[in-house]
């Protein structure tokens, strides 16, 4: 046997062995066959075969505008109302930097980066009504809620936080019971019960519908968190007055109204403050540091080391776990400077008076621009203290952090300069 023939035979034997090993080429072949099957399903559906005939293994996405136009062309009742146009907004740099190029360009999961916020694209606001929509949903292993919207002809209505996923196809293949409703208005995106998502994505929709007098057909989930319940009552809304849905159930709605919103539009976020924050709060002059010492994740491991720096700068340390939602709102209404490690509690800046100063401690290895964007939308001054993560097997969103004292000292000095400048300009800067 020549050297070349020997090598060819050895390669064939290795391939055969790997095909017979778990996780080897045999598994790769199965994966490839599944990919080809999915591609075949896609071709068939694009050629006109209804998605249910291929087990929902391909469900074409369709924009809201395209679907409404298609339904109207077929003579079916469908409406689209544009409330705010897509536009670019100009926001100030963090008061801790003078150079936009120093802001991270990593968009991560968020779809935009810290570097984008100073010239961020604000997506449109709309209200649409379509006929014969089906809501398919599931609750995952982390108890997070994931809805999808299907049109009457099997298209997946494509929204930022509502998309058709493989698990939705599995739900449909199980032939679930479907509850039929004549009319409904939908406000829920995924993880609606998360404190930050509820305040920035869901309450703004309810505020807008309330202003328009169109709350009557809104569907809310069967279970409301304490924050959800309290915020509704603070808007003079009775939670018991709303129709409910059970997360994970499938719904068919003959006339389905839903909203598209940007989570960081001033026109949507600021009305939440107007609706909920107390109008008779004392003059805002408190400096509040939100500790995550009692949180399960993303704690500041060296908080006791850096806390004296904040204490000496006039901060009070608070644990949001010790305050109900109404108390948190009342506290924020009295706050002129808010500092905290990255976490949902920072969303409460929405209830600080315009012009407050916000100082976020965050790991920039997985930069999340959302609080920067919220601060800008609420008319606040934003600053950032870069932190480092403690070595951990936890996913990036759950890792504890540490922050160097020198960086805190530098950020607090920048904070003092910004407060002084704001006071001189006649904006909040106490």
Q: Which residues contact 388 (CB under 8 A, 6 or more apart)?
A: 363, 401, 402, 403, 404
278-330 pLDDT, tens digit per residue, is: 888 778 889 999 999 888 888 899 999 999 999 999 999 999 999 999 999 99
pTM of the model: 0.88
DSSP H or E segment with residue 331:
helix 325-333
Query: What is residue 295's predicted lDDT score, i.e. its pLDDT?
Result: 84
Q: CA geometry: angle at 162 spanning 156 and 67, to 5°?
A: 35
By CB atoms closer than 10 A (0-12, 13-18, 19+), residue 13 is: exposed
Query: What is residue 335's predicted lDDT score, i.e. its pLDDT?
Result: 97
Classify strands 401-402 and 381-389 as parallel, antiparallel or unpaired: antiparallel
Confidence of residue 150 (pLDDT cuts 50, 70, 90): very high
Query: What is residue 17's predicted lDDT score, i.e. its pLDDT?
Result: 43
CATH 3.40.50 occupies which residues in the chain? Answer: 279-424
Q: What is the mean pLDDT of the chain?
A: 90
The residue among 79, 231, 81, 265 whose CA lies nearest residue 160 is 265
Half-sphere exposure for 109 (CA within 13 Å, toward CB) = 7
**Average pLDDT in the 178-190 region?**
96
**Structure token digits, residue 120:** 């961020």
pLDDT of 377 strictly over 90? yes
DSSP bridge partners of 388: 402
Angle between helices 25-46 and 3-19 (to 10 degrees): 70
Classify strands 315-318 and 286-290 as parallel, antiparallel or unpaired: parallel
Lowest mean pLDDT among 88-92, 162-166, 388-392: 388-392
Residue with tokens 């939100």: 290
pLDDT of 167 strictly over 50? yes
Comparing 396 with 407, which gets the higher pLDDT? 407
Lowest mean pLDDT among 40-49, 201-210, 213-222: 40-49
> Which CATH number is 279-424 given?
3.40.50
**Structure token digits, residue 94:** 């963090």
Q: Which residues contact 333 (CB under 8 A, 6 or more apart)?
A: 277, 278, 281, 284, 351, 352, 353
């Amino acid at each position: 046997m020549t050297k070349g023939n020997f090598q060819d035979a050895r390669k064939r034997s290795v391939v055969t062995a790997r095909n017979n090993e778990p996780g080897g080429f045999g598994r790769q072949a199965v994966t490839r066959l599944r990919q080809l099957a999915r591609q075949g399903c896609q071709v068939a559906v694009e050629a006109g075969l209804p998605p249910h005939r291929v087990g929902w293994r391909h469900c074409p996405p369709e924009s809201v505008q395209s679907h409404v136009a298609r339904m109207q062309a077929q003579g079916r009742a469908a409406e689209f109302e544009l409330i705010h146009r897509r536009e670019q907004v100009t926001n100030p740099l963090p008061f801790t930097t003078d150079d936009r190029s120093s802001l991270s360009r990593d968009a991560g999961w968020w779809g935009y980066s810290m570097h984008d916020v100073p010239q961020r694209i604000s997506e449109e606001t709309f209200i649409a009504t379509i006929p014969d929509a089906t809501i398919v949903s599931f609750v995952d292993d982390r108890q997070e809620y994931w809805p999808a919207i299907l049109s009457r002809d099997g298209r997946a209505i494509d929204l930022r936080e509502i998309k058709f996923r493989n698990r939705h196809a599995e739900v449909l293949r199980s032939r679930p019971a479907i509850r039929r409703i004549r009319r409904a208005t939908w406000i829920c995106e995924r993880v609606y019960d998360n404190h930050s998502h509820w305040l920035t994505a869901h309450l703004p929709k309810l505020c807008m519908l309330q202003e328009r007098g169109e709350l009557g057909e809104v569907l809310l989930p069967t279970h409301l968190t304490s924050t959800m319940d309290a915020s509704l009552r603070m808007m003079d809304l009775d939670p018991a007055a709303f129709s409910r849905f059970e997360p994970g159930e499938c719904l068919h709605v003959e006339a389905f109204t839903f909203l598209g919103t940007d989570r960081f539009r001033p026109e949507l976020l600021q009305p939440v403050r107007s609706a909920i924050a107390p109008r008779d709060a004392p003059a805002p002059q408190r400096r509040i540091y939100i500790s995550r010492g009692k949180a399960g994740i993303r704690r500041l491991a060296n908080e006791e080391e850096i806390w004296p720096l904040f204490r000496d700068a006039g901060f009070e340390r608070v644990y949001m776990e010790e305050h109900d939602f109404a108390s948190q709102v009342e506290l924020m209404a009295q706050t002129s400077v808010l500092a905290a490690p990255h976490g949902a509690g920072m969303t409460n800046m929405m209830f600080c008076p315009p012009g407050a100063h916000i100082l976020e401690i965050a790991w920039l290895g997985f930069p999340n621009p959302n609080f920067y964007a919220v601060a800008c939308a609420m008319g606040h001054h934003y600053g950032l203290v870069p932190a480092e993560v403690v070595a951990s097997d936890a996913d990036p969103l759950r890792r504890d952090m540490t922050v160097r004292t020198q960086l805190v000292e530098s950020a607090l000095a920048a904070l003092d300069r910004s407060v002084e400048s704001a006071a001189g300009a006649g904006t909040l800067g106490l």
